[in-house]
Amino acid sequence: MQHLVEQNWHSISSDEIIEIFQSDINDGLGPLSIKHKEEQFGKNILENKKRASLLEKFFTQFHNALIYILLAASLITAYLGEWIDSGVIFGVVIINVIIGFVQEVKAQEAIDSLKNMMTTEAIVIRDGKKISISSVDLVPGDIVLLESGSKIPADIRVINQKDIKVDESMLTGESVSVSKNSELYKQDTTLNDRKNMLYSGTFVTYGRAKGVVVATSSHTQIGKIADLIDNTVSLETPLTKKISYFSKVLLVIILTLAALTFLIGILRENSIIDTFMASVALAVGAIPEGLPAAVTITLAIGVSRMAKINSIIRKLPAVETLGSVTTICSDKTGTLTQNKMTVTNIYCGKTSYEVKGNGYEPKGDILINNEKVKDFDTNIQEVLKAGYLCNESYLVSKDGTYSIKGDPTEGALIVSCLKAGFNEHNLENSFPRIDILPFESDKQYMATINKDKQTNQNTIFIKGSVEKILEICDFEIIDDKSISLDKELIHNQVTKYASQGLRVLALAQKVTQQVQIDEKELQDGFVFLGLQAMMDPPRQEAIHAVQKCHNAGINIIMITGDHALTAFSIAQMITIVPKDANFEQSVLKGSELFNLSDEELIERVSTVKVFARVEPEQKLRIVDALQARGEVVAMTGDGVNDAPALKQANIGIAMGQGGTEVAKEASDMILSDDNFSSIERAVKEGRNVFDNLVKFITWTLPTNLGEGLVILFSIMLGVTLPILPLQILWINMSTAIFLGLMLVFEASEINIMDRVPRDPKEPIMTKVMVTQMLVVGFYMLVTSYAMFSYMLTIGHSIEYARTVAVNIFVFIEIFYLFSCKQLELSVFKTNLLDNKFLLLGVGFMVLLQLLFTHTTFMNNVFKSEPLELTTWLTIIAISFCVVLVVEIKKIIEFKINRF
């Protein structure tokens, strides 16, 4: 079977294919042959690979180094009878696990979406009879009949056809319907250029065809994409990688310190249980219990913020990943462009006009030499009128939004005519259609006969390729005078338009006595009217977004199935490449990419800005090559063809309105407004999320260090623990929620989009952060231990002294919180009141500490004791001094960096 599913069917004649599958062009397959092929090839449906169960996903959340330590601490404290300690520790674990599980449950459904896209009805010839069957029952060798509106149910080789056009945008990403034929093509012909092939999941927009099924289920092009999605490993994000590495390093440090504490206690002949509880206290104190929850909640808040700017996050870590992006690979059609063919230039009467306006809305000026045309001469009126009348499409308006029913190219001609002030109703009434010859790809033209009610004359209007129209024209009308046609001048104008990436159609007319089109009459005698040049224009907002991304040090690459020249021209308009860029260096075609080794491609991606005529597998290779260079890659797309690359990219961005469900399910983020400019705002938010996470980590780790050092020094000195394990948990969890998490509401810094992306290799703990952690951690150690010892010395109870130590830690964290609003800028140059959530959190934390200290219930649970006013004033004074310590540290670092 393998040799049958991997054939280059486009390079084999339809007769030979029918013979290979033992079918018949007139009678199709017989019952026995169908049964045999069903056994051989199976059902025409995509099968899902087995996914992890909900239970498996839940237990996967426990697979975290910090969680292991907390679980062990919870079990051992329970064994020792410390039930409250054990319960609180285990509760922290469960909270973290549930948060992670809720996110994991949002499983990927890309393959299910593909399966739904493939299911349809098919008209086939079997055993000499024309019948309708489910596409699920199709087998290779089936003879299929297709007509306008049909959804293509499998990969099919065309046997014969009549004017068939197919919308392949969901597969290739290109908006223009493709004309198909039954001709043979070379083996190395790219997917986009295999005009004799019809692919599963695409739609017939015009004409009809008869073909033979050559591939079903996973062997179709859409099936291969499904396999690519299924076999693509979702990468870890920069944040998850750094948190994972950071957790492992922290695990080693914590276990080492805990073991050292236990060993010192044993050597000092302390009680084994007391020494072990001290080691547990150190481990619990050194572990930032709030970190996993803080990361998740911070990202969740980022999700909420991004939803307000039309960016829907499907996977939490994608929020931060956006801030790390170094390269954005963008599909062209519908992402950077409007996916609406628009006439931009008209040439007639030896004059070139520029047409303004965007999309299908019939508004826009027509200019000549940058001046608005107010009175349209006969020449331009005739070329616009011909474009409207020689047309089978319709302009539809709904709720102020315009769309085209029919071919996008014909829609562009309708809109250009209406921009000149023509009225649809008047045109159709004044020039009713008598006959039509639909467009045929082999003839390269379309023609209609329309009756001019005013003159009672019949006119043939014809439009098509420039080469074909010029063949049948000898004259043109200028100022109502017939003159000889200068074909060289026309060709020069076409070359100019083509160099700008424009698609050019020529139009002509001929007065006739006929009421039916006779193709013999279409061979000569036409009067050339002019050219209409069109393109799928770039989104204006995308141009600004690309420029902002460049300012932020982000590289933009266009990946498209369109022709190289068109793609290059659009890339220049959008400023992806500069106006003076070298075409050969900036553009790489799919056929050229195919011949490159992985190593050669990795080298080339550093200079290429436009990849043209590429296939789905090649998009995946491009993303892989960029990642091999250490790039953090974002991939935007809307079609099925984008799905594998969307999943492989560090962050996949799908279009919410124009995107297929497959692309959405494979993505990490969806743009609800299909607006490329939303990406720039999302990147800004992503950078701010990471900045605030760094601020949180810089703020929380000194506390964990200080708590761990207090326990270690207590064992080393053989004195009573200044803080109990349960009190440590109280400090860590309450301050993380009511103080640390308030940092996530910090506004982005002014220069956030003027700096280059973070180096993906840069550790989450920089030298500045480590230094600050050590300084503040040792300050907490010294002040808390000194106050604890002093309180015991002056005769207070151990509960009183421990309450003082706990409050020293909490209030140092409160004042230190303001120093973390800006890690480099002085706290005295920072707006301390701009974050209302932070001020609210501080107020609530102060209230909690008063309850912790002065309520009977909290005194009983946490073994705390009410404090005197003088003690409170001392605690606040000592805590405030941490601000001065950090300021001195910042000044020293500034001077060191300066010299």
Of residues 327, 326, 321, 329, the one with CA closest to residue 686 = 321
What letter represents residue 363's amino acid?
K
At how many degrees (to 10) do helices 83-104 and 290-307 cross? Answer: 30
* Cβ 330 vs Cβ 559: under 8 Å: yes
What letter represents residue 54's amino acid?
L
Of residues 334, 341, 398, the one with CA closest to residue 658 = 334
The Cα 751–Cα 600 span in angstroms is 37
* Cβ 866 vs Cβ 859: under 8 Å: yes
Alpha helices (H) along 167-289: 169-172, 221-231, 238-267, 272-286
Could you tell me the two tokens for 241? 């990688």
Of residues 625, 623, 619, the one with CA closest to residue 599 = 625
Neighbours of 82 (CB within 10 A): 19
Of residues 139, 479, 464, 89, the one with CA closest to residue 289 = 89
Could you tell me the two tokens for 164? 């068939």
* Cβ 640 vs Cβ 226: under 8 Å: no
The Cα 301–Cα 894 span in angstroms is 33
User: For this structure, is 673 an active site residue?
Assistant: no
The Cα 711–Cα 708 span in angstroms is 5
Could you tell me the two tokens for 822? 């800006």
- CB neighbour list of residue 89: distance below 8 Å, 6 or more residues apart: 70, 73, 74, 77, 284, 729
Distance (Å) of CA 468 to CA 380, 442, 443, 498, 526: 21, 11, 8, 17, 12
DSSP 678-695: HHHHHHHHHHHHHHHHHH
3-state secondary structure 419-443: HCCCCHHHHHHHCCEEEEEEEECCC
Of residues 523, 527, 584, 575, the one with CA closest to residue 554 = 575
- CB neighbour list of residue 44: distance below 8 Å, 6 or more residues apart: 118, 135, 136, 137, 138, 139, 153, 154, 216, 217
The Cα 240–Cα 693 span in angstroms is 12
DSSP 574-598: TTSS-TT--HHHHEEEHHHHHTS-H
* Cβ 250 vs Cβ 291: under 8 Å: no
* Cβ 341 vs Cβ 176: under 8 Å: yes
The Cα 162–Cα 152 span in angstroms is 16
What letter represents residue 108's amino acid?
Q
The Cα 375–Cα 379 span in angstroms is 12
Rounded to the nearest 5 percent, the helix, strand and coil shares of the chain are 50, 20, 30
SS3 state at 838: helix
How far from each other are the two terminal CA atoms of the chain, in whole angstroms? 72
The residue annotated as part of the active site, out of 85, 331, 536, 674, is 331
Of residues 33, 97, 91, the one with CA closest to residue 62 = 97
Burial 418-442 (b: 16+ CB within 10 A, else e): bbbebeeeebeeebeebeebebbbe
The Cα 72–Cα 62 span in angstroms is 12
Catalytic residues: 331
